[in-house]
Amino acid sequence: MTQTLTGNLLVAQSGGPTPVINASLAGVIGEALQHEDEIVEIYGGLNGILGILNEQFIDLATESQQTVRALGRTPGAALGSCRYKVKKTRDFDRILEVFAAHDIRYFLYIGGNDSQDTAAKINALAIERGYALRVIGVPKTIDNDLSVTDHCPGYGSAVKHIAATVRQMALDNAAIGRHDLVSILEVMGRDTGWLAAGSVLAKRRNALIEDAPHIVLLPEERFNQQVFIDAVQNTLRRQKFCFIVVSEGLIDSEGNFLGAETGSVDAFGHAALGGVGERLRTIVEQNIAGVKARSAKLGISQRAAAQSISQTDSEEAARVGRDAVRAAVAGETGKMIVLVREDKDGVSYSIKTDLVPLEDVANAVKPFPAAWIGEDKVSIGFQFTKYAQPLIQGEVPLAYEGGLPKFATLVANRVESKLDPYEVL
Amino acid sequence: MTQTLTGNLLVAQSGGPTPVINASLAGVIGEALQHEDEIVEIYGGLNGILGILNEQFIDLATESQQTVRALGRTPGAALGSCRYKVKKTRDFDRILEVFAAHDIRYFLYIGGNDSQDTAAKINALAIERGYALRVIGVPKTIDNDLSVTDHCPGYGSAVKHIAATVRQMALDNAAIGRHDLVSILEVMGRDTGWLAAGSVLAKRRNALIEDAPHIVLLPEERFNQQVFIDAVQNTLRRQKFCFIVVSEGLIDSEGNFLGAETGSVDAFGHAALGGVGERLRTIVEQNIAGVKARSAKLGISQRAAAQSISQTDSEEAARVGRDAVRAAVAGETGKMIVLVREDKDGVSYSIKTDLVPLEDVANAVKPFPAAWIGEDKVSIGFQFTKYAQPLIQGEVPLAYEGGLPKFATLVANRVESKLDPYEVL
């Protein structure tokens, strides 16, 4: 029998936002309200770990139910995020000092592997110091590269957006292509190709080969220019246009990024190349006569596209938030909620949640499986489609105002500080 | 009293597609069915003028009502488009020969100013030859740069998408910015800044200054690097991030494109552009210490975003298609349908259609008004918001299948050729 721990709950967000990271926040808030015996106040930490160091908390229980519901369809991280990496002992000391001052007994951290690494260290320190604290991680990342979970909340909505965008751009390309048009879409994915691979969901079931995308390039498969040019030419012989989706992190045979690094310039002070998409455009135009190539780069828009939120993804994001609170109340600590696929034969899709130690999450990256990359090196196998199709199912209607989506804005009532200001060094 | 002209109708699409160019096509088809005395068959010409030269017609009357309705929410040009410029006398001769062979008496051309120039010449030649033909232009272009109409069908949906994208990206930027983040979104607009200006619709009414976008750069205002850098720095002092929207056609003080490419031009002699967003990113990072800049480029996706179709725009696009058929049946020829704003005081929005000679459409470009650009050279005045706000009102629900938008596909029953094949030179 776990001892009841009573105190305040603190939830914070970290790393790159996703379209459903706020659905997880709403899940945490909703569930926390159900545990009055254990959870007294529900605080949100602003800007991830920075807000904890700086004692910047808001009172989430005072937000309206309408606002909390609207969080489920609001991109960005409503509490603010950060990329600050806690390394110094004084920072960890400060975190526990702040927790004690505000009687924080439940700490829920919504983030990717770096953030869960921080959560693991906070948990270890609390145990070492004998401070009663329950730390549970809530996964998020559009990159889908956490090794311990079937998939990550955020991924389904991001690939739903990428696939919808490819399908729509392909209609345009089909109208103007004359076996001479190459369309390149650069998507995120510095280390792994999960997002680029997701673009193949744009293919209709009965038109797997013909439909866009025709070529998908991932960081897991080193770029071979001749294989690439041959694939483009083969596609243009059969199709009016050739659609290419490329991960920003594509690397060449020597392991270097094909896309220009931030800030790199040519002799004239101009950006040498505008990322890997622009680089491929140049390669196509220089190597295939008479072809017009165009590139687009979704950038931040692919992780903020509320119109493409997947209902399945949104529900799962809320669920990992809820289950994190339940686990903490039940006595768990130092763990992260993961999604486990119950039926792996693809007949029906159902998910349960489980817990894994935070230490297992940190620093382990899950690459796109080599077995799911086609023999031609530029296509994605049906195994992936079977895996990813359930994640994009269902739509989440948005609220509109004046012709544009309307999003949740927190009132953000600040919790009074109790300590002297802290200087983050 | 106009003489009744009985024969077949031909409709074709040309130039860059828009999210609602197929709504205009649906409007033409629906109205043509209402005029049985005048219109016998309803043909669609494939790939614009190329399909006419090559006698590639499909029978639109045999398409299902369901398909025609779904056209209203299907991006791309369902009939196919082209950028072929008719210049040769033999081409014009061939067009009239094809029209006579198929008893085409009504020719509706959905396109921008280049296309209407072609339509004008076909009309003039028909009159010269004494071939009874009624030619009516249907306007389309996301660029909004036709001088003769209050606005162009296609523009409202494109800026609805751009503004929604800015609002969503800004939520993400707000979560991660620390007065050190510059976000750049490159949009279309080779000659005019209408699309970039449309991004200011993302600002909420009560937060005009604070909300993104903070800086808007148009081709109508020559780029001044110092003014730009100062504006970015001023914004970063006040805001967590600085959001910049830039037209692909931005030019420097010497009149050169900032995003100039290798000098490739299209069939109309227009320079292909790309890369101004990356160029600005480099300028920011080289001139402002400690700032991170990121760029995104919507590319073709901004004119194919079905999720952002404006109901107002969709209805107007259908209406110009319908009214074009009505005008032709009523005896008009050599004219284009335009949109006229009835109430200009901004209290209520209502539109009527009118006709202008095709010659007035061709080659006249409407720049973004200088008076609507802020004194600071990087902001857009309230007059524009008043003008553009009505154009993005209302949403058009999409049909979904398997988690992705489902679009219309024409059965495309081919009309038998009657002439010998023609070689397009």
Task: Give the span between the Cα atoms of A22 and A25, in whole angstroms.
Answer: 5
Which of A231, A223, A283, A228 has its CA nearest to residue A253? A223
Q: Could you tell me which CATH class the domain A155-306 is placed in?
A: alpha beta
Task: Give the span between the Cα atoms of B293 and B183, in whole angstroms.
Answer: 6
* Alpha-carbon distance A51 to nearest alpha carbon in chain B (angstroms): 12
Distances (CA, A) of A287 to A224, A233, B140: 14, 10, 34
pLDDT band at A214 (very low <50, low <70, confident <90, very high): very high
Inter-chain touch B275–A274, beta carbons under 8 Å:
yes
Choose the closest CB to B296 out of A75, A298, A310.
A298
Choose the closest CB to A395 out of B205, B400, B407.
B400
Q: What is the pLDDT of residues A393-411, one digit of tens each?
A: 999 999 999 999 999 999 9
Task: Give the span between the Cα atoms of B48 and B394, in whole angstroms.
Answer: 30
Task: Give the span between the Cα atoms of B413 and B415, in whole angstroms.
Answer: 7
- Find out whether A277 and A296 touch, Cβ atoms under 8 Å: yes
Ordered strands of the A241-247 beta sheet: A215-217, A241-247, A181-187, A292-297, B292-297, B181-187, B241-247, B215-217
DSSP A222: -
- Find out whether A181 and A244 touch, Cβ atoms under 8 Å: no
pLDDT band at B261 (very low <50, low <70, confident <90, very high): low
Most confident of A343-352, B70-79, B341-350: B70-79
Which residues in chain A are classed under CATH 3.40.50.460? 155-306
Q: What is the pLDDT of residues B116-141, one digit of tens each?
A: 999 999 999 999 999 999 999 999 99
pLDDT band at B344 (very low <50, low <70, confident <90, very high): low
Which chain A residues contact residue B389 at CB under 8 A?
402-403
- Flag whether pLDDT at A345 surpasses 70: no
* Choice among B117, B143, B150, B211 that is catalytic: B143
pLDDT at A3: 82
Which chain B residues contact residue A246 at CB under 8 A?
none
In chain B the first and final C-alpha atoms are separated, in Å, by 43
Q: Confirm whether B37 is a catalytic residue.
A: no
Which residues in chain B are classed under CATH 3.40.50.460? 155-307+372-392
Q: Which helix (H) or strand (E) holds A341?
A: strand A335-341
Inter-chain touch A405–B282, beta carbons under 8 Å:
no
Inter-chain touch B296–A299, beta carbons under 8 Å:
yes
pLDDT at A343: 78
| Mean pLDDT along residues B310-321 | 98
Inter-chain touch A285–B262, beta carbons under 8 Å:
yes
Task: Give the span between the Cα atoms of A378 and A218, in whole angstroms.
Answer: 8
- Flag whether pLDDT at B266 surpasses 80: no
- Flag whether pLDDT at B272 surpasses 60: no
What average pLDDT is seen over chain B? 93
pLDDT band at A347 (very low <50, low <70, confident <90, very high): confident
Nearest-by-CA chain A residue for B176: A81
pLDDT at B63: 97
- Find out whether A15 and A137 touch, Cβ atoms under 8 Å: no
- Find out whether A341 and A150 touch, Cβ atoms under 8 Å: yes
| Mean pLDDT along residues B378-386 | 94
Which chain B residues contact residue A287 at CB under 8 A?
none
pLDDT band at B206 (very low <50, low <70, confident <90, very high): low
- Flag whether pLDDT at A196 surpasses 50: yes
Nearest-by-CA chain A residue for B178: A82
Architecture of domain A7-141+149-154+308-364+394-405: 3-Layer(aba) Sandwich (3.40)
A351: helix, strand or coil? strand
Nearest-by-CA chain B residue for A264: B282
* Alpha-carbon distance A122 to nearest alpha carbon in chain B (angstroms): 22
- Flag whether pLDDT at A1 surpasses 80: no
Of the candidate ranges A90-99, A201-210, B80-89, the one whose mean pLDDT is the lowest: A201-210
Task: Give the span between the Cα atoms of A110 and A321, in whole angstroms.
Answer: 8
Distances (CA, A) of A152 to A82, A110, A158, A246: 19, 12, 11, 21
Percentage of chain B with pLDDT > 90?
88
- Find out whether A387 and A65 touch, Cβ atoms under 8 Å: no
pLDDT band at B7 (very low <50, low <70, confident <90, very high): very high
Inter-chain touch A300–B389, beta carbons under 8 Å:
no
* Alpha-carbon distance A292 to nearest alpha carbon in chain B (angstroms): 9
Q: What is the pLDDT of residues A256-274, one digit of tens each?
A: 898 865 444 443 444 444 5
- Find out whether A152 and A391 touch, Cβ atoms under 8 Å: no
Asked if omega into B153 is within 30° of 0 (cis), the reply is no
pLDDT at B348: 87
Which residues in chain B are classed under CATH 3.40.50.450? 7-141+308-364+396-405
Which of A297, A398, A409 would best serve as a mutation to test chain B binding (most B beta carbons within 10 A)?
Answer: A297
DSSP A397: P
Percentage of chain B with pLDDT > 70?
95
Query: Residue B280 CB: number of other CB atoms within 10 A?
Result: 27
Nearest-by-CA chain B residue for A404: B164
Cβ partners under 8 Å of residue A145, min gap 6: A113, A152, A191, A192, A194, A365, A366, A367
Q: What is the pLDDT of residues A131-143, one digit of tens each?
A: 999 999 999 999 9
Higher pLDDT, B348 or B10: B10
Asked if omega into A213 is within 30° of 0 (cis), the reply is yes
* Choice among A91, A117, A143, A150 that is catalytic: A143
Between strands A57-59 and A39-45, the pairing is antiparallel
CATH pick for B155-307+372-392 out of 3.10.580.10, 3.40.50.460, 3.40.50.2300, 3.10.180.10 = 3.40.50.460
Which of A147, A165, A149 has its CA nearest to residue A157? A165
Per the rule left: phi > 0, alpha: psi between -120 and 50, beta: everything else, B56 is beta
Which chain B residues contact residue A202 at CB under 8 A?
404
- Flag whether pLDDT at B358 surpasses 70: yes
pLDDT at B262: 44
Inter-chain touch B300–A169, beta carbons under 8 Å:
yes
Domain B7-141+308-364+396-405 belongs in CATH node 3.40.50.450: yes
Task: Give the span between the Cα atoms of B219 and B262, in whole angstroms.
Answer: 19
| Mean pLDDT along residues A27-34 | 98
Tell me the whole-structure pTM to 2 decimals: 0.96
pLDDT at B343: 77
Percentage of chain A with pLDDT > 90?
87
Inter-chain touch A308–B307, beta carbons under 8 Å:
yes
| Mean pLDDT along residues A290-299 | 95
Task: Give the span between the Cα atoms of B5 and B310, in whole angstroms.
Answer: 36
Q: Which helix (H) or strand (E) holds A10?
A: strand A7-13
Burial A42-56 (b: 16+ CB within 10 A, else e): bbbbbbbbbbbbbbb
Q: Which helix (H) or strand (E) holds A111?
A: strand A104-111
Task: Give the span between the Cα atoms of A24 and A14, in whole angstroms.
Answer: 12
Task: Give the span between the Cα atoms of A339 and B125, in whole angstroms.
Answer: 68
- Flag whether pLDDT at A128 surpasses 80: yes
Which chain A residues contact residue B205 at CB under 8 A?
402
Query: In the 3-class helix/strand/coil scheme, how is chain B assigned residue by residue?
Result: CCCCCCEEEEEEECCCCCCCHHHHHHHHHHHHCCCCCCEEEEEEECCCHHHHHCCCEEEHHHCCHHHHHHHCCCCCCCCCCCCCCCCCHHHHHHHHHHHHHCCEEEEEEEECHHHHHHHHHHHHHHHHHCCCCEEEEEECCCCCCECCCCCCCCHHHHHHHHHHHHHHHHHHHHHHCCCCEEEEEEECCCCCCHHHHHHHHHCCHHHCCCCCCCEEECCCCCCCHHHHHHHHHHHHHHCCEEEEEEECCCECCCCCECCCCCCCECCCCCECCCCHHHHHHHHHHHHCCCCEEEEEECHHHHHCCHHHCEHHHHHHHHHHHHHHHHHHHCCCCCEEEEEEECCCCCCCCCEEEEEEEHHHHCCCECCCCHHHECCCCCCECHHHHHHHHHHHCCECCCCEECCEECCCCCCCCECCCCCCCCCCC
pLDDT band at B259 (very low <50, low <70, confident <90, very high): confident
Cβ partners under 8 Å of residue A400, min gap 6: A406, B395
- Flag whether pLDDT at A206 surpasses 90: no
CA B244 to chain CA mean position, Å: 22
